[in-house]
Amino acid sequence: MKKISYLILFIVVISSCKYDDNPYSIIREFDSGTYITPDGVVKYISGSPDSLLVVTDNYALIEENISYVKKNESGMLADSILIYGHVYSKAPNPVVCGYDSVDKIDLMARLAKNSNIYFNGSSEPESFITSDDLDRGLTFKSGFGLHYETPYYVRSFVVTGKFVGGKPEYKDIAYNQKVLEFTTDSPVDLWVGGDMQEAPADFPDLQFRGGTAFTYDGYLFVAQGHDEGPLGTSIEIYRYDPASNTWDNPYISKPVSINFTNAVSFVIKDVKLNNIEYDCVYIGLGITDDPNEANVEFYRLNLEKNTNLPIGEWGEWEDITSAFDAQPYPGLGVEDAIAFSINGIGYVGLGTTGFSNDVTPWFFKYDPEDIGAGHSKGTWTPIADFPGGPRTKAVTFTIGDNVYVACGMDNDGNYKNDLWMCRQTTGDNLSWVQRAPFPGTPRIDAVGFAIGENGYIGTGLDADSVRSDFWRYNPFINQWDQRAFFGGEPRYEAVGGGIELSNGDFRGYIGTGWDGTNYFSDFWHYRP
């Protein structure tokens, strides 16, 4: 169920720096692309030139393939690749500034789960490592945070060496013999909506706020919001097709037995249920018509894979309340929580309890394939609390396998602007690290989404006003920059999502919500 993703490395260097105090002179073979270290032994071969996968106005993704071609007499690799990656600059022939300027990735850690690895027949790391996988090569990607309309030079590199006493001893460095040149794009930074040409169609429910949204296979889904009544909630689910600029009205009606708003949703792909793989959507929690009754129910919607069913013919909605010994969600019922999935595991946390109105730091993980006794439809397990403390009405976006959580309100009513990144760790737990804070005013009920390799946060409610400012986060350099203000009226409790319409053509969407008095049904798309 777990998927091994590409490792994204980012290295900030300047072209004038030296490799170290006594740099090696790397001699490259003239015609075959192989690299020769100073002792004259071929240790590395480039399977192909560096490839430019994506370039935008503020980042680029580069791909390279590497493999060994030289072994010693015992059939083991003469040296290991201890560090690998890309180096870039605004001047030709960029060089690494020293081992401390790159993310060190040792062979033992990178391939620790591979059964073909042997450490001289011992379980302890020794000088030499061999693996059939290395003969087949390694493909890796690197991402860089860049300036717009600027020429750049990039080349891949490796640092070789050995493990001695379990510690790496670096020996040689080698660079790709060809430098990749490219120029970053001009930013578009444009909102389209309202009466403008190519504006997204308005949301079909004219009175809607506090919904939950998710993207799936190029569509945006919006569900379970608050409609025009003082306590009324919507139980329709709508699907937006950006290709045809149309909404299904509604896409699914009354899939559940109760109405709720301020709910959460997440998608898990490739879930094996009764030996059949599905992509599954989970929607739950939130508040019902009774303002003191928060839900613990979750509902699942299956899409059968490998059939002739077109996208949109979904399986039966299934109440998974009975999936658990006590409650379907093991915490108290909450509203205004957050939810996301990483590598086949769902994560739900934070929010406000419906009965006592306490703000929580709780987090739980959901494994849809853990179907032990009493858990026939998956298992919830508590994990460590959110390190930022109790939080409600926060915002989240996902870039690759990294999830970012920002803003919200604590238990004392203080609005927040901190940013936290989490990664999945051993046992499907989460490891958190604090990143650069959101530079806008602290706020609640904002919209967050990812477009390509960037995260975005905008709209929301701060201590003084309803907001329409919009900000971009570049994870490669851990920096924010302000973008064009949201094109519609300032609002909060809106919904949104990022969609790739075609290769490299990303759009972000924000719509619905309210300003405290007026509801909105307009949708806008953003082109970065």
| pLDDT, tens digit (0-9, with 9 covering 90-100), for 217-235 | 899 999 888 766 544 556 6
Query: What average pLDDT does range 440-453 have in this prediction?
Result: 97
Better pLDDT: 251 or 497: 497
Residue 348 is predicted with a pLDDT of 96
Res. 262: pLDDT tops 70: yes
Better pLDDT: 436 or 356: 436
Angle at 313 between CA 311 and CA 318, to 5 degrees: 120
Res. 132: pLDDT tops 80: no
Beta bridge partners of 435: 419
Residue 327 is predicted with a pLDDT of 38
Give the DSSP per-residue string, 379-428: EEEEEPPPTT-S-BS-EEEEETTEEEEE--B-TTS-B---EEEEEE-GGG
Residue 437's SS3 state is: coil
Residue 38 is predicted with a pLDDT of 44
The top-scoring range by mean pLDDT among 119-128, 336-345, 376-385 is: 336-345
Query: What average pLDDT does range 369-388 have in this prediction?
Result: 81
Better pLDDT: 332 or 23: 332
Residue 48 is predicted with a pLDDT of 67
Confidence of residue 110 (pLDDT cuts 50, 70, 90): very low
Better pLDDT: 175 or 459: 459
Region of 306 (left: φ > 0; alpha: ψ -120 to 50; beta: rest) is left
Is the separation of the CB atoms in 404 and 419 below 8 Å? yes
Res. 43: pLDDT tops 60: no
**Nearest to 165, CA basis, from 123, 126, 115:** 126
Residue 67 is predicted with a pLDDT of 62
Better pLDDT: 419 or 277: 419
Confidence of residue 359 (pLDDT cuts 50, 70, 90): very high
Beta bridge partners of 519: 514
Is the separation of the CB atoms in 522 and 193 below 8 Å? yes
Res. 297: pLDDT tops 90: no
From CA 507, how far away is CA 488, in angstroms rounded?
Answer: 16
Better pLDDT: 218 or 121: 218
Name residue, tokens 């709720």: 260
From CA 141, how far away is CA 282, in angstroms rounded?
Answer: 32
pTM as predicted: 0.82
Query: What average pLDDT does range 60-76 have in this prediction?
Result: 65
Is the separation of the CB atoms in 452 and 187 below 8 Å? no
Residues contacting residue 361 through CB under 8 Å, at least 6 positions apart: 349, 350, 385, 386, 388, 389, 390, 391
Res. 302: pLDDT tops 70: yes
Q: Taking the alpha carbons of 103, 109, 115, 120 in that order, is the dihedral positive or negative?
A: positive
Is the separation of the CB atoms in 288 and 259 below 8 Å? yes
Res. 16: pLDDT tops 50: no
**How many other C-beta atoms are found inside a 10 Å radius of the C-beta of residue 274?**
6
The CATH-assigned architecture of domain 190-527 is 6 Propeller (2.120)
What are the structure tokens assigned to 373, written together?
């006794």
Give the chain's radius of gyration (CA, Å).
Answer: 25
Average pLDDT, the chain: 76
What are the structure tokens assigned to 32, written together?
């075959």
Residue 310 is predicted with a pLDDT of 55
Confidence of residue 484 (pLDDT cuts 50, 70, 90): very high
Confidence of residue 328 (pLDDT cuts 50, 70, 90): low
Better pLDDT: 388 or 303: 388
Residue 4 is predicted with a pLDDT of 25
Residue 80 is predicted with a pLDDT of 64
Res. 124: pLDDT tops 60: no
**Where exactly are the structural domains of the chain?**
8-183, 190-527
Confidence of residue 100 (pLDDT cuts 50, 70, 90): very low
Q: Taking the alpha carbons of 477, 138, 28, 70 in that order, is the dihedral positive or negative?
A: positive
Which of the residue ranges 265-274, 294-303, 429-438, 485-494 would you say has the lowest mean pLDDT? 294-303
Half-sphere exposure of 267 (CA within 13 A, CB side): 15
What are the structure tokens assigned to 224, written together?
């379970």
Q: What end-to-end distance do the CA atoms of the chain give, in Å?
A: 33
CA distances from 382 to 8, 90, 325 (A): 29, 48, 15
Which of the residue ranges 8-17, 173-182, 210-219 would you say has the lowest mean pLDDT? 8-17
